[in-house]
Structure 1
Amino acid sequence: MYSESDLQAAVDARILTPEAAQAFRAHIASVREAPGADEESFRLITGFNDIFVSIAAVILLVAVAWIGQSIHTALAGAFVATSAWGLAEYFTRRRRMALPSIVLVLAFSGGVFATMVGFLVRHGENIFGNDISETTGAILVGAMALVTAGATWFHWKRFMVPITVAAGTAALAATAVALVLAATGVPSPDGTLPMVLVLIAGLGVFALAMWWDKSDRARQTRRSDVAFWLHLLAAPMIVHPIFHLIGVTRGDNIGSGAALLVVAIYVAFGLIALAIDRRALLVSALAYVLFAMTQLFRTFGAVELNVALTAFVIGSALLLLSAFWQNARAAVVGLLPANLADQLPATVRAVSPQPAS
Structure 2
Amino acid sequence: MYSESDLQAAVEAGAISQEAADALRSHAADRRASPLVDEEHFRLLTGFNDIFVAIASVILLVAVGWLGQDISGGLDSGKPTVLAGILVTLASWGLAEYFTRVRRMALPSILLLLSFAGGFAFTLFAAAFRLFPDAGSRIGALITAGIALATAVAIWVHWRRFMVPITVAAGAAAMAGVAITLTLSAFPDIGDTIFWVVMAAGVAIFAFAMWWDMSDRARTTRRSDVAFWLHLAAAPMIAHSLFRLLGVLSGTVTPGTAVAVIGLYILFGLVALAIDRRALLVSSLAYVLWALSALFRQAGAVETSFALTALVIGSALLLLSAFWHKARKLVVEGLPQDISGRLPYLDRDVVTV
TM range (shorter): over 0.9
Q: CA deviation at 1:223?
A: 0.1
**2:103 is equivalent to residue 100 of structure 1:** no
CA displacement 1:105-125 (0-9 Å, x = unmatched): 000001110001111223322
Q: CA deviation at 1:351?
A: 4.8
Corresponding residue for residue 139 of structure 2: 136
Tell me the amino acid that sits aligned with residue 158 of structure 1: R
Tell me the amino acid that sits aligned with residue 189 of structure 2: P
Corresponding residue for residue 37 of structure 2: 37
Q: CA deviation at 1:308?
A: 0.7
CA displacement 1:223-257 (0-9 Å, x = unmatched): 00000000000000000010000101121x21111
Corresponding residue for residue 186 of structure 1: 188
Query: Residue 258 of structure 2 contacts residue 291 of structure 2 at CA under 8 Å; is this kept in 1?
Result: yes
Q: Structure 2: where are the runs of 5+ without partners?
A: 73-80
**2:316 is equivalent to residue 317 of structure 1:** yes
Corresponding residue for residue 50 of structure 2: 50
**2:171 is equivalent to residue 168 of structure 1:** yes
Q: CA deviation at 1:350?
A: 3.3
CA displacement 1:63-121 (0-9 Å, x = unmatched): 01011112330111111111000000000111111000000000000111000111122
* Aligned counterparts of 1:118 and 1:108: Cα–Cα separation in 2: 15
* Aligned counterparts of 2:294 and 2:111: Cα–Cα separation in 1: 38
* Aligned counterparts of 2:269 and 2:296: Cα–Cα separation in 1: 21
Tell me the amino acid that sits aligned with residue 195 of structure 2: M
Query: Residue 84 of structure 1 contacts residue 104 of structure 1 at CA under 8 Å; is this kept in 2?
Result: yes
Once the two structures are superposed, the pairs formed by residues 1-16 of structure 1 within 5 Å of their partners are 1-16=1-16
Q: Which runs of 4+ in 1 moved over 3 A?
A: 350-353
Query: Residue 202 of structure 2 contacts residue 235 of structure 2 at CA under 8 Å; is this kept in 1?
Result: yes
Moved more, 230-239 or 30-39: 30-39
Corresponding residue for residue 78 of structure 2: none
Q: CA deviation at 1:23?
A: 1.3
Q: CA deviation at 1:295?
A: 0.4
Query: Residue 124 of structure 2 contacts residue 147 of structure 2 at CA under 8 Å; is this kept in 1?
Result: yes
Q: Determine what percentage of the aligned residue pairs are the same residue.
A: 59
Q: CA deviation at 1:291?
A: 0.5
* Aligned counterparts of 1:123 and 1:66: Cα–Cα separation in 2: 22
CA displacement 1:142-183 (0-9 Å, x = unmatched): 110000000010110111000000011111110112122223
SS of the residue corresponding to residue 46 of structure 1 reads coil
RMSD, matched Cα = 1.1
Tell me the amino acid that sits aligned with residue 115 of structure 2: A
SS of the residue corresponding to residue 248 of structure 2 reads coil
Tell me the amino acid that sits aligned with residue 229 of structure 2: W
* Aligned counterparts of 1:247 and 1:87: Cα–Cα separation in 2: 45
Q: CA deviation at 1:352?
A: 4.3
SS of the residue corresponding to residue 249 of structure 1 reads helix
Query: Residue 259 of structure 1 contacts residue 292 of structure 1 at CA under 8 Å; is this kept in 2?
Result: yes
CA pair 265-352 structure 1, distance change in 2 beyond 3 A: closer
Query: Residue 128 of structure 2 contacts residue 143 of structure 2 at CA under 8 Å; is this kept in 1?
Result: no
Corresponding residue for residue 236 of structure 2: 236
Corresponding residue for residue 297 of structure 1: 296
Q: Structure 1: where are the runs of 5+ without partners?
A: none
**2:281 is equivalent to residue 279 of structure 1:** no
* Aligned counterparts of 2:314 and 2:170: Cα–Cα separation in 1: 31
CA displacement 1:202-228 (0-9 Å, x = unmatched): 000000000000000010000000000
Once the two structures are superposed, the pairs formed by residues 78-89 of structure 1 within 5 Å of their partners are 78-89=86-97
